[in-house]
Amino acid sequence: MSTKPSPSLLKDNEEKLSSALAHLYALGATHVPSTREPGHVVHVPFSLTPRVLSRVCFLRAFELAKPFNILVDRVARSPDWLIRTLRAAGEADAEFTGKLLDVFEHAIEDGLQSRAGATRGEMRQQYMLGIHRSDYMVDDRSSRLLQIELNTISSSFGCLSTQVHNTLGYIHSRYRDHLENNVEVQVSESLNKIPEALKAAHECYVKNEREKSSSISSSSSLSPSSSSSSIVTFPPIVLFVIQEGERNIMDQRLIEFSLSKHNIHCVRATLFEVSQGARRGVRVSKGEVEGPVNSGFKEEEKEGALYYKGREVSVVYFRAGYTPNDYLKHTEEEWAARDVIECSNAIKCPSIGYHLAGSKKVQQALAAPGVLEDYFMKDRPEDVALLRSCFAGLWALDEDNTDDISIGKGNVSGGHAEAIIDAIEHPERYVLKPQREGGGNNVYGKALSEMLRTQGKEILAAYILMERIFPKEESAVLVRNGKAETVEKTVSELGVYSVFLGNGSENGRDERGEKRKEDLFVVSRADNSGVILNEAAGYLLRTKPSESDEGGVAAGYAVLDAVVLI
Ligand code: ADP
Ligand code: MG
């Protein structure tokens, strides 16, 4: 089977194209173009030629979803390991990674103060929601599925990818000229699964608050003023934290539309707007509430609850906050907003711990020998093997791991030295990655070699070095702004979404219900305790011209695509 566009495909492009465009617009698979005018939308960029992928690799990527979910949860609830691992990167990248660590440390302190007997890492809100996306490429030489990165914040394109798959499925069934008849376009479940995960977290919050309120009202019969009447802001809202001037709006709105069918009200706000409109509840009597915003809020507050413009917030869903740009305009207020959210009782998607667990430095540290085997996944050896099967070569460039290396100034030796020397000589075999998300930040080629040769650890500690993966190059028809173009050499990146909702009791306590010690993951415990949701949630396939080093769709490098299996 070949994915080469056949002559008939190219001849029929015009009809196919208009058909595909009509289908995409009908589904609302649009975004706002960069020259934004109110009401102006364009279709999402897409490929007209679904990609053939090995069934084994595709299923393997889905199999990895649950173990990665568990791993992220364990990492996020192991504050000392996380802080130790990110310390050097935080110092080298004080303006962003350092600030995220500050928020994390504050949330840890807040958790300790929020209830008697809490241990480090038990946050005020123990439930955490993950909507992750693990990205992979299939290395052509080894046929191995290798992880590019794990996104734990703002994993986007879930909803739009389902729409693109629906469109490509329709086109394939209508024309059937470039793929064999018996293959099906795989349609992602993310359009349903992502809103469902947010709904589950919202319901979990509501249920817990109701339980709390009934226990308060039954235990406080002598004090009617603090009775369950304090919960006046129900039902709570889901707060989407968004970027100013967001272009990828439809991907977010589709989630909102879905939640509204369940009468869950979503409110969108930038970090700055959150700083102006949000507050954390303190226990005061009726009418005494103070603070920057108190619109319409008269009754007694719930301590630690998050209120936005007077409405209680059940879940905060971040579609912003993952890049320093989101904290540039009103820096102090924007970081204060992040802080108030983290130290509140709202369920965060993601919590600051989940966010940090998805950083590139953590990805590298988890790949180091023994970290999974002896520590995080000691009780799950079968998961260790599965996880390791997708790790590419990853090397640290920070102090802890390169004590015996003097990078760039000669004297290179030690565990990572070989890779670093090789990278200086053969930069085309590597990628240098900073602690950044959102595309356009990696360093390649000559610049990579130059950086490794000339920069010291105080700069390089914010980077990791990664083996370059070389996926198979294939021809494809890419469509942008209504125009189809055949590109001879393209490569694809597969992302698998996963959703997880848990309160840490699986990962944070031993089988007798006692708090665990930081270095101890007790082996036998009920597998599902405290875990409400742990599953794969559909996929994203992005295709880009091979010569483009970066892979972002929003950034204009890649287009959305679909998978057919062999
Ligand atoms: P970001 O957080 O900016 O998305 P990524 O690690 O996903 O960072 O890198 C961006 C893009 O660079 C990827 O989408 C992929 O196209 C390319 N890339 C990253 N790592 C590798 C690698 N090891 N081999 C080949 N390409 C890579
Ligand atoms: Mg990426």
404 has a pLDDT exceeding 80? no
Q: Regarding predicted confidence, which is higher, 144 or 413?
A: 144
In ligand 1, the atom with minimum distance to the C-alpha of 149 is 6
One DSSP character per residue, 155-192 reads ---HHHHHHHHHHHHHHHHHH--SS-TT--BPPPSHHH
Which ligand 1 atom lies nearest to the CA of residue 146?
A: 23
Pocket test for ligand 1, best of 152, 322, 442 (most atoms within 8 A of CB): 442
Q: How many angstroms separate the CA atoms of 341 and 276, rounded? A: 13
Taking CB atoms and a 6 Å cutoff, what residues make up the pocket around ligand 1?
135, 148-149, 392, 431, 433, 437-439, 441-442, 466-469, 493, 549-551
What distance in angstroms lies between residue 332's CA and the mean position of ligand 2's atoms? 28
- Distance, in Å, from the CA atom of 462 to the CA atom of 88, rounded to the nearest integer, reads 7
Ligand nearest to the backbone CA of 467: 1
Q: What pLDDT, in 10s, does the model give residues 95-142?
A: 999 999 999 999 999 999 998 888 888 999 999 999 999 999 999 999
Which residue owns the Cα nearest ligand 1 atom 14? 551
Report how far ligand 2's centroid is from the alpha carbon of 435 (Å): 12
Output the CA 33–ligand 1 centroid distance in Å: 24
User: What is the C-alpha separation between 100 and 63, in angstroms, rounded?
Assistant: 31
Nearest Cα neighbor of 100 from 338, 403, 450, 261 is 338
Ligand 1, atom nearest to 557 Cα: 16
Ligand 1 atom, smallest distance to 392 CA: 23
Name which of 28-37, 125-134, 438-447, 532-541 the model is least confident about: 28-37
Q: What is the pLDDT of residues 238-264, one digit of tens each?
A: 999 999 988 899 999 999 999 999 999
Give me the pLDDT at residue 507, please.
Answer: 59
- Band of pLDDT at residue 409, cut at 50, 70 and 90: very low
- Tell me which range, 91-95, 208-212, 227-231, 512-516, is most confidently predicted by mean pLDDT: 91-95
pLDDT at 506: 64
Pairing of strands 394-396, 463-467: antiparallel
pTM for the whole thing?
0.90
Instruction: Convert the pLDDT of each residue in 135-187 to its tens digit.
Output: 999 999 999 999 999 999 999 999 999 999 999 999 999 987 777 777 899 99
**138 alpha carbon to ligand 2 midpoint, in Å?**
15
Burial class for 104, CB neighbours closer than 10 Å (0-12, 13-18, 19+) = buried
Ligand 1 atom closest to the CA of 441, numbered from 1: 3
Residue nearest to atom 22 of ligand 1 (CA): 468
38 has pLDDT over 80: no
Token pair 């809202």: residue: 237
Residue 302 Cα to ligand 2 midpoint, Å, equals 39
Residue 284 has pLDDT above 70, yes or no: no
**Can you tell me which atom of ligand 1 is nearest the CA of 438?**
3
Dist. CA 438 → ligand 2 center (Å): 6
* Contacts (Cβ under 8 Å, ≥6 apart) of 190: 158, 159, 161, 162, 497, 537, 538, 539, 540
* Closest ligand 1 atom number to CA of residue 135: 7
Looking at the CA of 433, name the nearest ligand. Answer: 1
Query: Residue 212: pLDDT band by 50, 70, 90 thresholds?
Result: confident
Q: What is the pLDDT of residues 311-327, one digit of tens each?
A: 999 999 999 999 999 99
Ligand nearest to the CA of 440: 1
Return the ligand number nearest the Cα of 138. Answer: 1
Ligand 2 centroid to Cα of residue 146, in Å, is: 13
How many residues in total does the chain contain?
A: 566
CA 11 / ligand 2 centre spacing (Å): 34
- Average pLDDT across the chain, whole number: 87
Q: How far is the CA of 348 from the centre of ligand 1 (A)?
A: 26
* pLDDT band, very low/low/confident/very high, at 285 (cuts 50, 70, 90): low
Kindly state the average pLDDT of the residues 198-207.
96
Q: What is the pLDDT of residue 545?
A: 95
pLDDT band at 440 (very low <50, low <70, confident <90, very high): confident
Query: Is it the case that residue 411 has pLDDT exceeding 60?
Result: no
Cβ atoms within 10 Å of 113's Cβ, excluding its own:
11
Distance 47 CA to ligand 2 centre (A): 19
Q: How far apart are CA 157 and CA 494, in angstroms?
A: 12
> How far is CA 88 from each of CA 93, 257, 341, 415, 545, rounded to the nearest angstrom?
8, 42, 26, 18, 35
Average of pLDDT values for 19-46? 89
Contact 202, 264 (CB under 8 A): yes
* Ligand 1 nearest-atom number relative to CA 469: 24
Report percent pLDDT > 90 for the chain. Answer: 71
Note the pLDDT of residue 526: 34
Which of 154, 550, 553, 559 for a ligand 1 pocket mutation test, highest count of atoms within 8 Å of Cβ? 550
User: Which residue's alpha carbon is nearest to atom 20 within ligand 1?
Assistant: 148
Query: Which atom of ligand 1 is found nearest the CA of 437?
Result: 2
With the most atoms of ligand 1 within 8 angstroms of its CB, the residue from 148, 359, 541, 549 to mutate is 148
How large is the average pLDDT for residues 85-96? 96
| Nearest CA residue ID for atom 15, ligand 1 | 551
Relative to the CA of 360, which ligand 1 atom is closest? 6
Query: 551 CA to middle of ligand 1, Å?
Result: 6
pLDDT at 124: 95
Q: Tens of pLDDT along 473-530?
A: 999 999 999 999 999 999 999 999 999 999 988 654 433 444 444 433 333 333 446 8
The vertex-379 CA angle with 373 and 385, nearest 5°, equals 50
User: Relative to the CA of 440, which ligand 1 atom is closest?
Assistant: 3
User: Ligand 1 centre and the CA of 183: distance in Å?
Assistant: 29
The residue with greater pLDDT, 367 or 229, is 367
Q: State the distance from the centre of ligand 2 to the C-alpha of 133, rounded, in angstroms.
A: 9
Q: What is the CA radius of gyration of the chain?
A: 24
Residue nearest to atom 17 of ligand 1 (CA): 550
